[in-house]
Structure 1
Amino acid sequence: MATISFPNLYTHRKVAETKAKSCDICYRLTSSVLITPDNKDFFYICPSHLKEPALCTPKIDTEAIEARKKKELEEEIERVKKEYEEKQKKRKEEKEKGKESEKDKDKKDDEKNKDKDEKKDEKDQEKSKGSRSTSREGTKSPPVEEEPRIFELKPTFYQQRLLKKRQAEVAKRNRERLRDPTFFPSVPKNLP
């Protein structure tokens, strides 16, 4: 008898609403599925059950979180570099013109200082609100806090899943045996 085993790590996925089936716990229709990485086991479950500590515990993928933060940081650095290059171009153009009077230059310097102060205030506000950032292309929406995608079932529920898989395998093997004509004994051909 082959033993069935699969890791106790389940990934939360969504299926189409037309493919929704009843939840294994409360029997309501749901489109959420927990599935093992090797696709050996899956079951439908309501998203509200995933928050129950008696059923499963979320596994936080720290590598993915760090990668996402690093990507956001790189995007911010690129945006700041572009702004700096644009400012340098503007300064070169202003130096080439050089025809403006000293008063105009003083006023522009005051305006630049005000712009810098306003940008610093905007950056401080962005940091306090979260990671909202505005760019010249448009505004970016704040990133949505993702729910955990990988879960580990509690031992009792995991054992139930293993037992269901074993029972399904035994039932399948029994059906195959019953279809096989050599499984049953043959009628005796010799007279007694």
Structure 2
Amino acid sequence: MSFPNIYTHRKVAETKAKSCDICFKISSSVLITPDNKDWFYVCPAHLKDIGFCTPKIDQAAIEARKKRELDEEVERVKKEYEEKQKKKKEKDEKGNKKDDKKDDKKEDTKDGTGEDKQTTQDKTESAQEGATASPVDEEEEPRVFELKSAFYQQRVNRKRQAEIAKRNRERMRDPTFFPSVPKNLP
């Protein structure tokens, strides 16, 4: 009747919140085993308590997330580079026709840094796009925990007692469980 000491942190709807098994405050956080044999409500504050549980860090998931973020960054940079190359090509094509007029305008459009105002504006727009394009990652808190031995043993004992009580209730319903009344005279 044993189950693994690995619990996953899940959130339930606020309307389904129940009292924490430790402190009896209302909580919408649940710890559940992978095979769904055991689950209980717990406050998020208890998950940070090292005396209650320890987080299990999944190195493979962390590496996969870093790789995904790196790939997204590479794609974004490639896209930016391609856009700049297109703009540069367009400017070169137009530049051949209007070299004289552009030289006069360039002197007027330079800001204090020596860059064109248009390129400065393009840089700020791309920086803003990069900031809004990066999606907010799921919560950075660990999701998998291992209970300390005392709490884990308490969960196992509680589950075992519930199973024994269920077995006893089933036995009580069985009519052959109780002794029958003697039929012979003594």
TM-score, normalised to structure 2, is 0.82
Alpha carbon RMSD of aligned pairs, Å? 3.1
1:10 counterpart = 2:22: no
Shift of 1:15: 1.0
Amino acid at match of 2:86: K
Q: Give unpaired runs (5+ residues) of structure 1.
A: 124-132
Q: What's the CA shift for 1:122?
A: 10
CA distance in 2, matches of 1:6, 1:136: 45
Task: State the secondary structure of the residue aligned to 1:152.
Answer: strand
Report how many aligned residue pairs link the two structures.
Answer: 178
Whole-Å separation in 1 of the counterparts to 2:100 and 2:125: 30
Tell me the percent identity.
68
Q: Is 1:89 matched with 2:86?
A: yes
1:134 to 111, 128, 132: 128
Partner of 2:152: 158
Residue in structure 2 matched with residue 100 of structure 1 by the alignment: 98
Q: Is the 8 A contact 1:57 1:151 kept in 2?
A: yes
Match of 1:182 among 157, 176, 179: 176
Residues 167 and 145 of structure 1: CA distance in aligned 2, closer, same or farther (over 3 Å): closer
TM norm structure 1: 0.80
Out of 88-97 and 149-158, give the one that drifted further.
88-97
Give the 4+ runs in structure 1 shifted more than 6 A: none
Flag the 1:144–1:181 CA change in 2: closer, same or farther, 3 A.
Answer: closer
Are 2:26 and 1:32 aligned?
no
Q: Distance in 2 between matches of 1:162 and 1:136?
A: 49
Unaligned runs of 5+ in 2: none
Instruction: For residues 23-51 of structure 1, give each alpha carbon's deviation from its aligned partner in whole angstroms, at most 9, with x where no partner exists.
Output: 11111111111110000111111111111
- Of 70, 74, 77, 2:71 maps to 74
